[in-house]
Structure 1
Amino acid sequence: MPAIMLQGTGSDVGKSVLVAGLCRLFTNRGLNVRPFKPQNMSNNAAVTADGGEIGRAQALQAMACRTSPTVDMNPVLLKPHSDIGAQVIVHGKVRGTLGASDFQSRKGELLEAVLASYHRLHDQCDLVIVEGAGSPAETNLRRGDIANMGFARAADVPVALVGDIDRGGVIASIVGTRAVLDDEDAAMIRGFLINKFRGDVRLFDDGYADIARRTGWRGLGVIPWLAAARQLPAEDAVVLDRQAQGQAITTIAVPMLSRIANFDDFDPLQHEPGVRLVMVPPGQPLPGDAAMVILPGTKATIADLAFLRAQGWDVDIAAHVRRGGQLLGICGGYQMLGTTISDPNGIEGPSQTVSGLGYLPASTTITSDKRVVAVSGRSLRDGAPFTGYEIHAGRTIIQDAGTAVLLRLNDGGEDGCLSANGQIAGCHVHGLFDNPHQRAAWLNRLHVTSDGVDQTHRIDAALDTLASALEKVVDADAILAIAQTAGR
């Protein structure tokens, strides 16, 4: 069965977007396509229909294929909760927690699970497009590798190498990758792509030819800077540092917690013409002119609550509330707004109970059981519908029976709560702003008129635009011909 793998000369060279674009391109050609990423590291997770977790990039790529995401599309997901440790998700379920050095020594044990998922996808479709992680040039990670060449060779999947010309040094990065790979790994690479080119592409003709001459690999295209990519959700939090800010009057601020998760919750707000979305980095105060502050999700609620306080953001939030500003917490941010957070079994770190920010009468106990589910329903405050998902550990209890509930789920359940004056709210549901009616209801309270665009429709249109652009600049027939050599 045809398959091709996109690997990069480094992280953040645009592999995820290119895989999504190629998935839509070949799907539009009538092929039955599936995305695959053997190993991902991200706190931006998506929920599959069977209650599993995968990276959100693979959920986007599934959408590009016009199919539903499954756990086989990303069999190993690492969710970092500290600089040296991560929760390990295998086939959508928590397998345990490992330190970086432990995972490095044991990752080869997961190759069987990775290959099982790949072969199941392989049997379902006409073409599998695989995304690597990081770079195969990280030779210190080669032993036991399951993310790049270790997978490519085990599954016999040919590779196209992606270089990012926008960051500079693209000739050296591609030729240098060839230089550090051993011959057997290098033989898996059949071509290269140049990504994020600005200006007249003819000016790079000599560089393009030089790369081909020095590596022996075929050039598969020079891809310009694609504006449509800005309409797509990003997977890595590093992009938040470079996020463009709007010029609108109404400011919504989101503090960038150290383990911020599922930050694409805020993409629909960024596209609103009446909103200036400010992702506030560590070391900066929350803007005093913010009409709303949103505490985002996090992979480590107690640790990030301490981080929030260390930045002085708790003081900024108190001043914001005194000024009458709206305050919303989502998932871990909701738990922070409560009175206490307890971790009796040391799920996130040391066993402890800490005081929350105290804005809502809710207490949370972190437990080993994890709620991973797609949800839909309506806001009890205004009846606005929503469709989203929950990914959180632990149980949150409302301590005051008279407290207003925020959301009614279609399965009969309830989630979240609301302060008596309606100024402060929290819930566990991600994707709340994707629905245009739900988003409009929140913005109406800030005296902002929403653009009324459904986020899913926006993303779907961007995928078509991306695919059309790629059709013009990449050698899609050559890519498909390379994919035909898989398993031979």
Structure 2
Amino acid sequence: MPAKTLMIQGTTSDAGKSTLATGLCRLLARRGVRVAPFKPQNMALNSAVTVDGGEIGRSQAAQALACGVEPHTDMNPILLKPNSNTGSQVIVQGRVLSNMDAVSYHAYKPRAMQAVLESHQRLAEQYQFVVVEGAGSPAEINLREGDIANMGFAEAVDCPVVLVADIDRGGVFAHLVGTLALLSESEQARVVGLVINRFRGDVALLQSGIDWLERHTGKPVLGVLPYLQGLHIEAEDSLSQGAVRPALAAEQRLRVVAPALPRLSNHTDFDALRLHPQVEVTVVRAGETVPPADLIVLPGSKNVRHDLDWLRANGWEPAIRRHLRYGGKLIGICGGFQMLGTQLHDPLGLESAAGSSGGLGLLDMETTLTEQKRLERVEGRLTFADAAVSGYEIHMGVSSGPALDAPAVMMPGGADGAVSADGQVLGTYLHGLFDHPEACQALLAWAGVAEPVVVDYRAERERHIDRLADLLEQHLDLSRIAAQLPTGLF
């Protein structure tokens, strides 16, 4: 029998769609259900490399982990990676199609829907159940025509929808009632229940509002999910600040500072550091002064030359040189690694206007952007510590120069990155650099932590997903949800 499908939509961005979908995936998986995640269209700069060598949104990779399966390109057939305020790189079933502006992509949507339906059908034939995450809000009137991300998809596959809203922001009743009011009658009919997310306090004080909401909308409230302090689920695009677990006194922690680049990609590279008790991560935004640090990390970027201009405009170049003069350490990851060289070339205009830019000149190398994107999962060892490291590469640049003769990582297929002669600067294309406990311990020691403790980030990630599933088990009306699922799944 083909898989059943349930779609999670939200009244706003960051309402809790990813959280609810991830928790449901784990809840079903640990009951023995063969379940897969799905998101028709994702706009995000956090991405992951799949088992079939493609690229999908990071949240779907995390949901695949919650399901206990390998991430696959069918789980997120359309990925939009913004490279300007009006354009994105369009990735279809894991592969780059082209760059498009908003008008061009709108015209392309009918073909995109074909890819979406093909991918969903393949998942439906392989799994018992598919948990689908919507994007943004289904009530965005200007995007309703040709919609493939929310109700357009739900109508096409005829699946039920659960609508979630965030009470922590305020206005939760207006969000839910207003969203339903802006849907068509057929769309309203397929909403089988409502979920209120991130509630703080005694739920008894909310009961009169719940009773009114159910009478007014005719929809059951399937659950009120408490605010979970310190919950860590890999984010789709929101950039969090600071630690998510108790840490040492400020003077005992390694101070890690990173810029909030306008086109920052894969900021999940910082997650293992945020979860480490000996580390304090500070993300510096536009107009803010770069604070003193032990380690500066330049992250990935979807528009490297543009973000390098932003760094310079916000005072980062002199701050980095001052940081290095005083003995600080510097790591560049992917686009951040490319910025460390002497020149950045984009002859085809793949990320912005065709041309070249001078780099920071901290590593003797140049990078040229090419049309072919490298997508690969990799394992190796850090050269300066003989510690295991693993992660993934997602980049279009090819780097060359003498700096690469002193690589940062050795892999079975060759070398990666570079370490400066004075040992202060390290660059790599490897995302997930800190995720392996051996690599994280070695890098923290390199950056100045005298006795770094071992934290298994992957085990911590599993613990947080289980914590989320436990929460849903306790606070969702699973019997009402079960009515929408194949018999015996709950």
Range into which the TM-score falls when normalised by the shorter chain: over 0.9
Structure 1 residue 339 corresponds to structure 2 residue 342:
yes
State TM-score, norm by structure 1. Answer: 0.96
**Aligned pairs for 1:237-252 within 5 A:** 237-240=238-241, 247-249=249-251, 250-252=254-256
> What is the aligned partner in structure 1 of residue 57 from structure 2?
55
Match of 1:117 among 119, 139, 148: 119
**1:59: how far off?**
0.4
Cα deviation code 1:422-455 (max 9, x no counterpart): 0011010000101111111111121243331221
Distance change (3 Å), C-alpha of 1:428 and 1:451: same
Cα deviation code 1:257-289 (max 9, x no counterpart): 10001001111111111111111111112112x
> What is the aligned partner in structure 2 of residue 323 from structure 1?
326
**1:232: how far off?**
2.0
- Unmatched segments (≥5 aa) in structure 2: none
- Unmatched segments (≥5 aa) in structure 1: none
In 1, are the aligned partners of 2:56 and 2:76 still within 8 Å (CA)?
yes
How far, CA to CA, are the matches of 1:473 and 1:237 in structure 2? 25
How far, CA to CA, are the matches of 2:403 and 2:128 in structure 1? 55
> What is the aligned partner in structure 1 of residue 300 from structure 2?
297
In 2, are the aligned partners of 1:228 and 1:465 still within 8 Å (CA)?
no
**Aligned pairs for 1:69-218 within 5 A:** 69-218=71-220
How far, CA to CA, are the matches of 1:202 and 1:102 in structure 2? 50
How far, CA to CA, are the matches of 1:27 and 1:85 in structure 2? 37
Structure 1 residue 264 corresponds to structure 2 residue 268:
yes
Identity of aligned residues (%): 47
**Aligned pairs for 1:301-380 within 5 A:** 301-380=304-383
Cα deviation code 1:76-105 (max 9, x no counterpart): 000000111000000000011111222233
In 2, are the aligned partners of 1:245 and 1:276 still within 8 Å (CA)?
no
Cα deviation code 1:136-170 (max 9, x no counterpart): 11121100000000000001111000011000000
Cα deviation code 1:385-431 (max 9, x no counterpart): 01100000020012357x411110123x1100111110011010000
Counting matched residue pairs gives: 481
In 2, are the aligned partners of 1:75 and 1:91 still within 8 Å (CA)?
yes
> What is the aligned partner in structure 2 of residue 425 from structure 1?
426
> What is the aligned partner in structure 2 of residue 8 from structure 1?
10
How far, CA to CA, are the matches of 1:395 and 1:306 in structure 2? 20
Structure 1 residue 30 corresponds to structure 2 residue 36:
no
State TM-score, norm by structure 2. Answer: 0.95
How far, CA to CA, are the matches of 1:314 and 1:53 in structure 2? 32
> What is the aligned partner in structure 1 of residue 257 from structure 2?
253
> What is the aligned partner in structure 2 of residue 273 from structure 1?
277
Q: Which moved more, 1:209-218 or 1:32-41?
A: 209-218
In 1, are the aligned partners of 2:23 and 2:469 still within 8 Å (CA)?
yes
**3-state SS of paired residue (1:235):** coil
Cα deviation code 1:344-389 (max 9, x no counterpart): 1111111111110000011100010110000000011110101100
How far, CA to CA, are the matches of 1:481 and 1:296 in structure 2? 45
In 1, are the aligned partners of 2:295 and 2:330 still within 8 Å (CA)?
yes
In 2, are the aligned partners of 1:71 and 1:91 still within 8 Å (CA)?
yes
> What is the aligned partner in structure 2 of residue 232 from structure 1?
233
**3-state SS of paired residue (1:381):** coil
Distance change (3 Å), C-alpha of 1:15 and 1:62: same
**1:245: how far off?**
10
Structure 1 residue 389 corresponds to structure 2 residue 392:
yes
**3-state SS of paired residue (2:468):** helix
How far, CA to CA, are the matches of 1:280 and 1:149 in structure 2? 37
How far, CA to CA, are the matches of 1:458 and 1:144 in structure 2? 40
**1:477: how far off?**
2.7
How far, CA to CA, are the matches of 1:186 and 1:244 in structure 2? 40
**1:243: how far off?**
8.0
**3-state SS of paired residue (1:482):** coil
How far, CA to CA, are the matches of 1:125 and 1:109 in structure 2? 25
In 1, are the aligned partners of 2:54 and 2:375 still within 8 Å (CA)?
yes
**Counterpart amino acid of 2:418?**
C
**1:238: how far off?**
4.5
**3-state SS of paired residue (1:129):** strand
**3-state SS of paired residue (2:417):** strand
In 2, are the aligned partners of 1:406 and 1:416 still within 8 Å (CA)?
yes
In 2, are the aligned partners of 1:237 and 1:260 still within 8 Å (CA)?
no
How far, CA to CA, are the matches of 2:243 and 2:425 in structure 1? 29
**Counterpart amino acid of 2:217?**
T
Distance change (3 Å), C-alpha of 1:476 and 1:133: same
Match of 2:21 among 15, 19, 22: 19
> What is the aligned partner in structure 1 of residue 484 from structure 2?
482
> What is the aligned partner in structure 2 of residue 438 from structure 1?
439
In 2, are the aligned partners of 1:228 and 1:463 still within 8 Å (CA)?
no
**Counterpart amino acid of 2:356?**
T
How far, CA to CA, are the matches of 1:251 and 1:296 in structure 2? 16
How far, CA to CA, are the matches of 1:484 and 1:432 in structure 2? 41
How far, CA to CA, are the matches of 1:195 and 1:94 in structure 2? 35
**1:481: how far off?**
1.7
**Counterpart amino acid of 1:254?**
A
Distance change (3 Å), C-alpha of 1:108 and 1:451: farther
**1:242: how far off?**
11
